[in-house]
């Protein structure tokens, strides 16, 4: 088992520990899906456009259960705590005027053969 780096005791740190525990190589890039929460389809679409105008790929998603809209922004990067925090801040600033808010991130990691 890989030794996991010492991540802060918060949601991002917990998520990074879980990714490391799954067998991912934390020194290699992986696709991380950053989520932006939006209260309506029109807000989500405006957030998607703002993110794409800034050079990011982005796509809309609506949750089947609560009907909330989200925008997912996949970024291939090395999963470092500071880089993830910085990316969430940048994405949040890009959508703040529209009303979108960062809503965490997820990844399937980079386990070979997964």
Domains in the chain: ranges and CATH: 33-104 (3.30.70.970)
* CA distances for 11 relative to 67, 81, 95, angstroms: 24, 11, 21
Question: What phi and psi values does residue 19 have, to the nearest 5 degrees?
Answer: -65, -45
Summarize the confidence of residues 66-94 as an average pLDDT: 96
Exposed, middle or buried: residue 92 (CB in 10 Å: 0-12, 13-18, 19+)? middle
Quote the pTM value: 0.89
Above pLDDT 90, what percent of the chain?
A: 88
pLDDT at residue 113 is higher than 70 = no
Condensed to tens digits (0 to 9), the pLDDT of residues 15-54 reads 999 999 999 999 999 999 999 999 999 999 999 999 999 9
How far apart (Å, rounded) are the C-alpha atoms in residues 85 and 59?
Answer: 21
Average confidence score pLDDT of the chain:
92
């Amino acid at each position: 088992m890989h030794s996991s780096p010492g991540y802060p005791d918060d949601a991002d740190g917990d998520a990074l520990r879980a990714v490391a525990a799954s067998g991912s190589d934390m020194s290699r890039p992986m696709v991380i899906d950053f989520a932006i929460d939006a209260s309506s389809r029109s807000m989500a679409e405006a957030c998607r456009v703002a993110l794409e105008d800034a050079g990011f790929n982005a796509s809309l998603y609506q949750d089947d259960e609560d009907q909330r809209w989200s925008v997912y922004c996949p970024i291939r990067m090395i999963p470092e705590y500071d880089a993830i925090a910085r990316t969430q801040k940048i994405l949040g600033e890009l959508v703040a005027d529209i009303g979108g808010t960062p809503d965490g991130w997820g990844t399937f990691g980079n386990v070979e053969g997964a």
